[in-house]
Amino acid sequence: MKIPVIIDTDPGIDDALALFLAFSSEKLDIRAITSVGGNIPLGKTTKNSIDLVSYIGANTKVAKGAEGPILRELHTAEYVHGETGLHSVVLPEGNIKLYEKSAWDTIYEEAIKCEGRLNIIAIGPLTNIAIALMKYPDLKHKIEKITLMGGACYIGNTTPAAEFNIYVDAEAADIVFKSGIPVIMVGLDATHKALVLEKDIEYITEGKSKISETIRQFFNCCSIICKLYGLEGAIVHDALAVASVINPNIIEKHKYYVAVETKGELTYGKTVVDIYNVTKKEANAEVAMDVDREGFVEMLRGMIKAYE
Active site residues per annotation: 237
Cβ distance to Ca ion smaller for residue 10 or 174 = 10
**Residue 189 partner contact from ligand RIB, Ca ion, none using kind-dependent CB cut-offs of 5 to 8 Å:** none
Among positions 10, 51, 110, 174, the unique one binding ligand RIB when judged by CB under 6 A:
10
Dihedral (CA of 228, 229, 230, 235) sign: negative
Euclidean distance between CA atoms 31 and 110, whole angstroms: 7
Give residues with Cβ within 8 angstroms of 94, minimum separation 6.
47, 50, 51, 52, 53, 54, 55
Among positions 4, 12, 125, 151, the unique one binding Ca ion when judged by CB under 5 A:
12
Among positions 42, 50, 149, 291, the unique one binding ligand RIB when judged by CB under 6 A:
149
C-beta of 149: minimal distance to ligand RIB in Å?
5
| Contact flag: residue 12 with ligand RIB (CB under 6 A) | yes
Cβ distance to Ca ion smaller for residue 10 or 109 = 10
Among positions 45, 165, 217, 271, the unique one binding ligand RIB when judged by CB under 6 A:
165
| Contact flag: residue 189 with ligand RIB (CB under 6 A) | no
Euclidean distance between CA atoms 1 and 260, whole angstroms: 34
- Interface of this chain with Ca ion, residues 218 to 277, rule: CB under 5 A: 238
What is the per-residue DSSP string for 5-68? EEEEE---HHHHHHHHHHHH-TTEEEEEEEE-SSSS-HHHHHHHHHHHHHHHT---EEEE--SS
Dihedral (CA of 29, 168, 65, 95) sign: negative
C-beta of 218: minimal distance to ligand RIB in Å?
12
Q: Work out the burial of residue 302: count CB atoms within 10 Å of its CB; fewer than 13 is exposed, 13-18 middle, 19 or more buried.
A: middle
Euclidean distance between CA atoms 19 and 211, whole angstroms: 12
C-beta of 302: minimal distance to ligand RIB in Å?
22
| Contact flag: residue 68 with ligand RIB (CB under 6 A) | no
- Interface of this chain with Ca ion, residues 106 to 145, rule: CB under 5 A: 123-124
Length of the chain: 308
**Are the CB atoms for 173 and 185 separated by under 8 Å?**
no
* Chain positions contacting Ca ion, by CB under 5 A: 10, 12, 15, 123-124, 238
In the complex, the residues that contact ligand RIB under the rule CB under 6 A are 10, 12, 14-15, 38-39, 123-124, 149, 157, 163-165, 237-238
